[in-house]
Amino acid sequence: MSTYTSIEITRSARVWAWPKVALFCVGLTGLTAPAVSGTLQVGEPAPVFTATNSKGSSVALSQYRGKTVVLEWTNAECPYTHKHYAAGNMQSLQALAQRQGVVWLSVISSAPGKQGYVNGPAADALTQSRGAAPTAVLLDPAGAVGRLYGAKTTPHMFVIDKNGILQYMGGIDSLATADASDIPHAEPYLKEAMLAVAQGNPVAHPVTRPYGCSIKY
């Protein structure tokens, strides 16, 4: 069984809550938000964890200290996730991450029997069929890593700098739709944040509201 270790995170008195609607948890984007969400705060150490990847090996966040890390919560059956993979947007971001020396960890927190749940071989088959290029796919069926980060939607994105400090959390972009034709017109929040962190620059929008399907814990 994988073990998960959290660190103590300062809780701000002001937090953002996302509305829960049926199967989806859709947030509004493009709004200025404070650098805090739930128990996580940008500028503070990212919660550390150890999880099992799709190959059956243990992966610790701490092993990537010294590199920029992107965490992507994903669910292949979610139309919002499908939007970005069917259009090739997620794959192009993963390829850009590789060129920048950024570690990309895709996390699947769907519980067994719920939408989006897959085992290791199925996760690898998805990666191959979609032409995706994450550094690793992490399996989180108990939802321990997802809850540690307060992950709410698929996709939900986080960027951690080389010193293990959380620098971005929120949506992949600014248009909360499942329509792939909107991608070129959206502000690419994740892309901007990833490049800024990799290059040692400030993130213009450190916290945005994620949109997509609710994670099926």
Please report, as a single letter, which amino acid is at residue 132: A
- pLDDT more than 90, % of the chain: 82
Residue 81 three-state SS: helix
Residue 189 lies in a domain: yes
Measured CA to CA, the distance from residue 62 to residue 90 in angstroms comes to 24
Measured CA to CA, the distance from residue 17 to residue 36 in angstroms comes to 11
Under a CB-based contact definition with an 8 Å cutoff, are residues 167 and 158 in contact?
no
76: number of Cβ within 10 Å: 20
The per-residue pLDDT for range 39-90, each reduced to its tens digit, is: 899 999 999 999 999 999 999 999 999 999 999 999 999 999 999 999 999 9
Under a CB-based contact definition with an 8 Å cutoff, are residues 210 and 18 in contact?
yes
CATH code, 103: 3.40.30.10
Residue 26 lies in a domain: no
Residue 33 lies in a domain: no
Under a CB-based contact definition with an 8 Å cutoff, are residues 175 and 209 in contact?
no
- In this prediction, residue 20 carries a pLDDT of 32
Number of domains in the chain: 1
| Start-to-end C-alpha separation, the chain | 18
| pLDDT band of 161, cuts 50, 70, 90 | very high
Q: Which single residue is written with the structure tokens 């701000």?
A: 12
Residue 146 lies in a domain: yes
Structural domain that includes position 60? 42-214
Residue 141 lies in a domain: yes
State the chain's mean pLDDT as an integer. 86
Residue 28 lies in a domain: no
Predicted structure pTM score: 0.83
The per-residue pLDDT for range 94-142, each reduced to its tens digit, is: 999 999 999 999 999 999 999 999 999 999 999 999 999 999 999 999 9
Residue 166 lies in a domain: yes
Measured CA to CA, the distance from residue 210 to residue 198 in angstroms comes to 21
Under DSSP, the state recorded for 55 is T
- In this prediction, residue 38 carries a pLDDT of 55
Under a CB-based contact definition with an 8 Å cutoff, are residues 168 and 102 in contact?
no
Residue 194 three-state SS: helix
Residue 77 lies in a domain: yes
